[in-house]
């Protein structure tokens, strides 16, 4: 990177030196002491002094850049100062360039005339203007934007987590100021140079004979055209650098926004400046990170509820403080669970339980149900809450049918590997319940409260006594539209209720 900076600053300074020579050779020769042209010795002094200034500037730049040349992780004690220095790189290199040109103006406008005894204040001011303003400012601006362009490729290394705009003590170059500086640079300097040229040629024409005056005016026209062409070329080059410093980060930001629009929430746009564009880019990255976190929560929430219920809850269309509504409750419980656990390795039990729960919950989800909780080997699910579903009794019964089929398929696979099959009992009941958030101030769960919940649990327990795997209450059966085969069983009395309830075995 330091070599690139040298390759950028050296041509800019050499070109500035050439512009200086052209300026004093053709535009303002009288600025030299007594209007003479520089001789060989002065030109040699000029070259040696320029080389010395460039060498000193390069050495100072290397010393200043040294803390930034390591790829090792930054210690916490140095991170802030190093990052601040990383943001100051374009300013530092441009500052060294401006310092070199300032010294050049003093050397040739003040020190050298003092050494040769030709110092005149008016000539010194014109020399400083030609060296510092005409060449030095243009070279400094070019170096700043060229270094900034190259350094932006490296800057994100120092800010892997962002925070470019949060660093204090770093000059900011807003977009408006960038455009204003370039506008002034491209208007003031060419106008100043043309003004000096016109003034010198006018003086020469007034003091010269008529025949010579005509040639001076003709030469003025050629010089104006030449300077106009040079000014246009320099303006285009500098304008390209400035426009690129604005357009490239905006282009990357537009590309990143398009990626987010296509659903990629892992995209991040590098923050390469501390101006308005950098602030917008950091805001975009924070926004995408927030969207990714929200999507993660959304997907995680979707593991606890069905996608439809998740979307309704996140959209704010479901009241979670508690609602009295009719719902169908389903309980499923494994048979002979305790002996199986005692005879099996705990890790195998966990694996089998997870596989069993996955199959059962898939069936429940497929029919619009919500698994409220797993209690040991028992599953509690609801249909019709928190989202209203007019056909919730039928959905619950069809979910029980699919649970039966999935368990049979899963057991067949288990038996092929020599493992024993598992059996379960399922109870389904419909009634009015209070559905909402229940728990402490620190932890809540969506739950159902009401007698139908207890009845559904008791009906599931009756599957053992009635030697069937799925029992449906009479209340649920009354709300079915047919299409499901049910076999009537004798009415039974469950614990906690005095009245008998009708139950039906699912065919």
At 39 the pLDDT is: 61
Please, what are the domains in the chain? Answer: 2-261 (no CATH), 320-506 (3.30.70.1230)
At 34 the pLDDT is: 47
Tell me: pLDDT of 36 over 60. Answer: no
Nearest by Cα to 343 from 238, 419, 278, 411 = 419
Helices (H) then strands (E): counts for the chain? 16, 8
Tell me: pLDDT of 26 over 80. Answer: no
pLDDT tens-digit series, residues 40-50:
666 677 677 76
pLDDT tens-digit series, residues 452-496:
999 999 999 999 999 999 999 999 999 998 889 999 999 998 887
Instruction: Give the pLDDT mean for 216-225.
Output: 73
At 319 the pLDDT is: 65
At 255 the pLDDT is: 93
Distance CA 387, CA 123 (A): 89
At 474 the pLDDT is: 96
Q: Dihedral, CA atoms, 451, 457, 460, 461, nearest 10 degrees?
A: -110
Q: Enumerate residues 6+ apart whose C-beta is below 8 A from 8.
A: 143, 146, 147, 150
Instruction: Give the pLDDT mean for 276-298.
Output: 88
Across the chain, mean pLDDT equals 84
Per-residue pLDDT band at 387 (split at 50, 70, 90): confident
At 7 the pLDDT is: 65
Distance CA 2, CA 296 (A): 42
CB atoms within 10 A of CB 125: 14
Specify whether the CB–CB gap between 140 and 98 falls below 8 A: yes
Distance CA 380, CA 333 (A): 9
Q: Count Cβ atoms within 10 A of the Cβ of residue 341 and give its class: 0-12 exposed, 13-18 middle, 19 or more buried.
A: middle
Single pTM value for the model:
0.60
Crossing angle (nearest 10°) for helices 89-106 and 40-65: 160
| Percent of the chain's residues with pLDDT above 90 | 31
pLDDT tens-digit series, residues 133-187:
888 888 888 888 888 888 888 888 888 778 888 888 888 888 888 888 777 777 7
At 107 the pLDDT is: 82
At 35 the pLDDT is: 44
- Choice between 66 and 340, residue whose per-residue pLDDT is larger: 340
Tell me: pLDDT of 251 over 60. Answer: yes
Instruction: Give the pLDDT mean for 398-418.
Output: 95
- Choice between 505 and 23, residue whose per-residue pLDDT is larger: 505
175: number of CA atoms within 13 Å, CB side? Answer: 12
Instruction: Give the pLDDT mean for 425-451.
Output: 88
- Choice between 228 and 401, residue whose per-residue pLDDT is larger: 401
Q: Name the H helices within 318-391.
A: 337-343, 346-366
Tell me: pLDDT of 53 over 80. Answer: no
Angstrom CA distances, 329 to 371, 434, 475, stand at 10, 12, 12
At 466 the pLDDT is: 93
Distance CA 463, CA 203 (A): 117
CB atoms within 10 A of CB 21: 15
Specify whether the CB–CB gap between 128 and 105 falls below 8 A: yes
Nearest by Cα to 129 from 85, 77, 69, 191 = 191
At 490 the pLDDT is: 92
At 180 the pLDDT is: 82
């Amino acid at each position: 990177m330091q070599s690139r900076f040298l390759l950028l600053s050296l041509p800019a300074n050499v070109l500035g030196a050439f512009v200086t020579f052209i300026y004093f050779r053709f535009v303002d020769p009288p600025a030299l002491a007594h209007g003479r042209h520089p001789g060989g010795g002065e030109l040699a002094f000029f070259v040696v002094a320029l080389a010395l200034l460039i060498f000193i500037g390069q050495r100072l730049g290397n010393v200043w850049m040294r803390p930034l040349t390591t790829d090792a992780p930054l210690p916490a004690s140095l991170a802030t100062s190093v990052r601040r220095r990383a943001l100051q790189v374009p300013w530092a290199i441009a500052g060294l360039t401006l310092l070199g040109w300032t010294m050049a103006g003093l050397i040739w406008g003040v020190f050298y005339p003092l050494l040769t005894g030709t110092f005149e204040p008016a000539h010194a001011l014109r020399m400083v203007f030609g060296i510092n303003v005409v060449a030095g400012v243009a070279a400094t601006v070019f170096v700043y934007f060229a270094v900034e362009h190259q350094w932006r490729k490296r800057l994100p290394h120092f800010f892997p987590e962002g925070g470019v705009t949060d660093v204090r003590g770093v000059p900011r170059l807003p977009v408006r100021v960038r455009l204003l500086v370039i506008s002034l640079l491209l208007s003031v300097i060419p106008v100043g140079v043309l003004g000096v040229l016109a003034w010198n040629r006018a003086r020469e024409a007034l003091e010269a004979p008529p025949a010579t005056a005509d040639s001076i005016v003709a030469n003025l026209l050629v010089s104006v055209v030449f300077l106009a062409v040079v000014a246009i070329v320099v303006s285009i080059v500098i304008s390209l650098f400035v426009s690129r410093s604005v357009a490239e980060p905006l282009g990357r930001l537009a590309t990143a926004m398009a990626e987010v629009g296509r659903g990629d929430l892992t995209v991040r746009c590098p923050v390469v400046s501390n101006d308005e564009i950098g602030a917008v880019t950091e805001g975009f990255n924070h926004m995408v990170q927030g969207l990714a976190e929200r999507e993660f929560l959304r997907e995680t929430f979707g593991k606890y509820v069905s996608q439809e219920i998740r979307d309704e809850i996140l959209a704010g269309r479901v009241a979670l403080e508690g609602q009295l509504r009719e719902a169908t409750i389903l309980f499923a419980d494994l048979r002979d669970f305790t002996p199986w656990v005692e005879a099996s390795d705990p890790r195998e039990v966990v694996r089998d339980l997870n596989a069993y729960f996955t199959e059962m919950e898939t069936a429940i989800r497929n029919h619009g149900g919500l698994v409220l909780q797993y209690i040991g080997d028992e599953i509690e699910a609801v249909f019709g809450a928190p989202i209203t579903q007019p056909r919730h009794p039928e959905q619950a019964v069809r979910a029980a049918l699919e649970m039966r089929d999935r368990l049979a398929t899963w057991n067949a696979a288990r038996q092929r590997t020599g493992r024993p099959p598992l059996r379960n009992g399922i109870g389904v009941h419909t009634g009015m319940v209070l559905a909402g958030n229940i728990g402490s101030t620190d932890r809540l769960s969506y739950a159902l409260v009401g007698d139908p919940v207890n009845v559904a649990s008791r009906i599931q327990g009756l599957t053992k006594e009635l030697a069937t795997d799925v029992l449906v209450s009479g209340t649920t059966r009354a709300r079915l539209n047919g299409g499901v085969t049910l076999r009537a069983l004798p009415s039974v009395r469950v614990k906690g209720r005095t009245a008998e309830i009708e139950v039906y075995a699912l065919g």
